[in-house]
Structures are given as C-alpha cells and as structure tokens.
Chains A and B, each alone.
Chain A
C-alpha cells in the first residue's frame, strides 16, 4: 500500500501557478522587507546620532576603562581597556550562570523526585516549595536574599567564625590556596585522571558485555580523578601555601572570599529555577509508563539499575527540552543581579555606557553576550537531546 502512493517525481514549475514558486517569492519578499527595515533603522540611528554630534563606534573598547570592579575574576585594573572590563563582566555572568545551572539542576532534581516520596512530609515540603518559589517574581527574591544577607549577618568587624572561615556582611571568607606554578601540575594530573576515567569506562563496558559483571561507575572513576590530582600535586612540588583570612580593623582581610552580592544572586537564581526544574523532572518521571518499571523488576534489575538503565533514559527525553528553557532563563535572569550590586556584564555595561555615552554600542554588547551564551547553551542541550532521543532506524 505504502508503495503505491509514491509521489510523482517533482518538476520545477517556474510559473505563478506553482505553489512552491509562489512560496519562494513570498519568502524572498519577506526577507527583503526585514533587511530593508533593519537597514533603515540602523542608518537612521547612525545619521541621527551624527546630526546631533553624538560620537559612535566601538573604538572606545581599546581605551582605558578607568573604573575599578569589585570582583575581578582575573588581574583587572582600572588602567586596563574597556574590553577587559567587559570580559570581567562576562566572566562574572558566566560564573554565576554555570554554578547556578549545576546547583539548580541538583536541587530541582531532588525536589522533583521528592514529589514521589512515600513520606507525606517530604512530598508536602516539595509541593509547597515549588508553589512558593515559582510564584514570587525572581527580582523580589533576589532583593529578599540580599536584604537577608546584609541585614541578618553580623558586621564585618565581628564576623561569625568557624576555624579560618568567616561569615559576615562582608561575605564568606575562607582560606584559599596561593596560586603557584605547582598547581599547573595538579590541573594536568586531574586532566590525566579524567582521561583515565574514559579508558576505564570503555574497559568496564567491554567487561560488562563480555561477562555481565558490573563495575562501579562512580567510586572508581572518582578515585582515579582524585589520584590524578594528588599525583600532580606531588609532581608540582607539593605547593601548600594558603591565604589565611584574618580579622582586620574594619573587615576580614586576606583569604578567598565570596561576596554577599554573589551569594545572594546565586541563592536567588538557584532556588527560583529549582522550583521550575522540579516540575520538569516530575513531568519526566511521570511520563514513563508504570509498565516499564514493572518490567525492569520482572527482569530482576536492582532499584538503582532500574532508575539508571530504564526510567531515567526514557524520562530524559521529556526532561531535556524544557530543561534547556530553564537553563536559558537562569542565564538571562542573572542580568537582574545589577539590582543588588553584583558586577555582571550588565552592571559593567551600565558603567561603561555612562562613562562613554555609547548607549547603542553598550546595549549591543549586552545583547550579543546573552545571545551567544544562550545559543551555546541551546547548541549543547540540542546535542545532548539528540543523544538521549529515541534512535529511530
């Protein structure tokens, strides 16, 4: 039957009667209109700005920025050019976005799984959490966390102290390693460990296929990576110099620090996004028919095997696409950090905009940064989605 409805070979028909041809013409016209409008907007803006004597162009990026940034990820100084200031802002945005995505996924998954708990208290908590956190605007939550952090914590002059870790309005201060060449070896060791894990996994899979015996896929790889790091540390001459924070006259000095702004942004974004992720995870798990789990048990798979080999791979197909949205939302919501003084790319851009007056350029940079990070996230998630999707052959 299927064979008989085969379509006749396509013939190109360049007449107005051809739907395909008409479609092409319409598309070309629409594209031309979009380009024309874009060109009109751009040239109009440029002409108007020139007529009013407003300087424009991206040349300012090479001039010294002249302002300090509270949390530089790398050695930034006010004499460095604007593009480096922007780089610091982008770094801060990525730092909070990447950490936020990882933590929100963890918290959200726990909450989502918690919705199926046999314990009514856990179930109720997860339900209440989701309803509370996803229904309060994220900006309000950020402000609330920042207010809590700055109001409730003790003054920087009398911080809470546990060992060498201090917590105060000045943030979380902890001993950090002093960076030296030896740490390059540690990084190399960790990379080597990761490579080892890849080989181990291949070997474990081959073993499983050959003998049916399962090897640990968590503890052994973890051990390999740690061992790699430790070996690297020995190879690097065992650098063990630490920056120990001490109580200063006005604030805790030295050591490594997480500022209250960073903590509040991270906390706010993670807890807000986790509520959505919990719902995504719940939907994913509920989408797997009950029969699947029963079949797994009938085959004699253990609880964890059932979860890992049967339920999760099927749930992931439902989870990944909406999860991508949540990751994108988290990244874009991080731009609200400007409200509580976290120096992300929007904050840096605001300052640059005011110093130079290049409004159009600075806004364009912000847009380009978020577009790039969002597209990169989408690209990665689409790749992962394709991997997890049902292989139709």
Chain B
C-alpha cells in the first residue's frame, strides 16, 4: 500500500530493509515499549491462578507471568508491566485499538478470531477444555444428565457456543442463562439459579476454589466438551513483536525441557549442553535476531522460572487450584507442550 503511494518512500524503505539485515529491525511495538519503559498487558479482571491482583495491587497468575517474562526479556525488569484488566467483551477492542501491547487473558484460539479480528494468536500457554460444575447433592455424574436444565454461563466467550453445540449434538435442550460478568454468572450458580455452571475446566477449578463457600459441595464433571487452547494474542502488522512474544513462550517451555530453572539459571550459563548455551545466549546470540540482547531468555527465566515452574506455582497440584499437569505436560512426558527449538 505504501509503495504504491510514493516511489521515493518505497526506495527509502528498501534501504531501511537492507540495513535491517545487519541490525535486526525492531518493530513499532518494541520501539514503543522501549521508549515508554513498560509492556502494556491486558489480563483478566480476576481469575484465580491465571490473573488476579492481591490487596496490594500485585498481579499474579499464569497469564500474568507470561507478561512478566516478556518485560524481563525486553526491558530487563519483570515489574515494568502496566496491567490493564479487561472483561471478555473489551479484550479484542483493547488490543485492536493499540491500548495494550499483548493480550494475555485466557483467550481461546479459534479460526474466526485468528482470521477476522486483525489479531494474531501467538503460542499456546495452557491447553484447556470446557467442562461443567454441578453441586454434589444434585447427584449428576454425566453432562448428558443436564437434559432441559438451566446452565449459567458468561457472555462473550466461546463457552456459549460450545454449550449450544454440545446441547444440540446430544439433543439436550439445555437452557443457558447468560451473564455479562463472570461474578454474576458464578453468583447465580452458587445461589442455586442454575443446575450447572460451565466454563473452561481451569476456570471451574479457579471458581470452585475462590468463590464456593465449601468447595467440597461442588464437583467438576470429568467430561470435557471442547478444545480450548489458551494463549496470548498480539495485533497484526508488527511481525517482530509477534515473533518476540511467541519465542519468549517457546523459550520458557524449552527451558523446562532442558532443566533450566529460576534457581539454577546462573549456573546453567556455564553448562556444556549446546542447547542450553543457545537458550541462554552463551554461544549464539539468539536475542539479536529478535531485536533483543543476548541475555533475553536468561532474564525471563530468572524472573518467573521455566514453564513448568510457572504452572506449578500458579495452577499446579501444590497451588490452591490443584490442577493436574495433564495435557500441559511436556511432549516427552505425555503432554502437548512442544516448543520449536530455540536456535
């Protein structure tokens, strides 16, 4: 589009392109982040284990740690993040308009979202699936027992459509009660308005743990009715930033695979393993290709740990959510987490 406007501009850009070969071209988003000294990160308004703020305003969670890792890799300080809490309806508009640099808000990757919103999916940070939570005393054991029943659900998510598909495929005639806010939806479920509450299984665990008066009175049905790969999104039109977000996530997964942890990252720099040397920028300068410096991944790991540590700390068996590693385990341990090689 630009080249057709003025040949002169096209010529300048060609020269800039040639220069870029030697000094990896930094995209406008990265330039902006460096200039402002902060990554603007869109997160969930409150989802235990993924993103929630404590009373002092400190954010924590799996989605939050991704942004911290980005800030550490790009700016050298995991705290240089501006958090923008968003609800389901606001999230895409906030990213499209440039209000945020990255949307790390348990967002499902789907074709429609990837192809029609002007946004890019980066990499999956959590493999989820939609499930149901029901009161133990209802004695429901299978989601198919919900025939003709009311199910509370939050609007503006893929959840509504999955519920409809499931209801239709099994001829259940489930009646959805749709709320704008997740708090309203869960509140109505716990008050007994609906027979079941549905969202991603991780969200169910979070809600049961955080909002139920007695978590033992509610059971999450084992059956999952959809695939929900969650991960951060970025705006289209800045391929450099897109690559950085993707590779920071891959780097965190790769770090787990090669045993680099928050604790041992400094010692690992003297490791003889060539893969570890590449990840930590000891032998090859992988950061340069992304427009970052040598130690980009080392800082990210030092700030939040590798993917496995992030998982354990926020949602894993030792956290209040007690989610099993399951599909989110490394590919060589029976899971789906497979990062392309950092080289």
B294 at interface (Cβ–Cβ under 8 A)?
no
Residue A53 at the B interface, CB < 8 A?
yes
Instruction: With both chains docked as a complex, state the minimum distance between the C-beta of A39 and any C-beta of chain B, in angstroms.
Output: 21
Q: Does A237 contact B (CB under 8 A)?
A: no
Q: Which residues of B contact A197 (CB under 8 A)?
A: none
Contacts of B150 in A (CB 8 A): 70, 170, 251
Tell me whether A28 is interfacial, beta carbon within 8 Å.
no
Q: Is the CB of B178 within 8 A of A66?
A: no
Which residues in window 143-159 of B have CB below 8 A to A? 148-150, 152, 155-157
15 contacts between A and B (CB under 8 A): A49-B118, A67-B160, A68-B175, A151-B191, A156-B195, A169-B193, A170-B193, A251-B149, A253-B148, A338-B155, A338-B179, A341-B184, A350-B155, A353-B156, A356-B112
Among A112-156, those with CB < 8 Å from B are 146-147, 150-151, 155-156
Please indicate the chain A residues that have their CB under 8 angstroms from the CB of B112 in the complex: 355-357
A contact residues around B178 at 8 Å (CB): 69-70, 341, 343, 347, 351
Query: Can you name the residue of chain B whose Cβ is closest to the Cβ of A77?
Result: B168
Which positions in B face A, CB cutoff 8 Å? 1, 88-89, 92-93, 96, 112-113, 116-118, 138, 140, 148-150, 152, 155-157, 160-161, 163-165, 167-168, 174-181, 184-185, 188, 191-193, 195, 235-237
Flag whether A52 is at the interface (Cβ < 8 A): yes
Q: Is the pair B175, A340 in contact by a Cβ cutoff of 8 Å?
A: no
The answer to whether B118 touches A54, judged by C-beta atoms less than 8 angstroms apart, is yes
CB < 8 Å A-B pair total: 117
Q: Which residues of A contact B188 (CB under 8 A)?
A: 146, 150, 340-341
> Using Cβ atoms and an 8 Å threshold, which residues of chain A touch B161?
66-67, 355
Residue of A nearest to B191 (CB): A150
C-alpha spacing A355/B88, complex, angstroms: 11
B92 and A351 contact, CB distance less than 8 A: no
Max chain B Cβ within 10 angstroms of own Cβ: one of A54, A55, A253, A261: A54
Give A341 to B186 CA distance when docked, in angstroms. 11
**Is the Cβ of B164 less than 8 Å from the Cβ of A67?**
yes
* Further 16 A-B residue pairs, CB within 8 A, beyond A261-B177, A350-B180: A52-B96, A52-B236, A53-B118, A54-B96, A69-B176, A70-B178, A150-B193, A156-B192, A156-B195, A169-B192, A250-B138, A251-B148, A338-B180, A340-B179, A340-B188, A343-B178
Determine the residue in chain A with the shortest Cβ distance to B91.
Answer: A354
Q: What is the bound-complex CA distance between A49 and B155, given in angstroms?
A: 24
The docked-state distance in angstroms from the alpha carbon of A342 to that of B167 is 20
A260 touches B (CB below 8 Å): yes
| Known pairs A169-B193, A356-B112; A66 contacts B165 (CB<8 A) | yes
Residue of B at shortest CB range from A337?
Answer: B180
Q: Does A339 contact B (CB under 8 A)?
A: yes
Instruction: Tell whether A99 is near chain B: CB-to-CB under 8 Å.
Output: no
A286 near B: Cβ within 8 Å? no
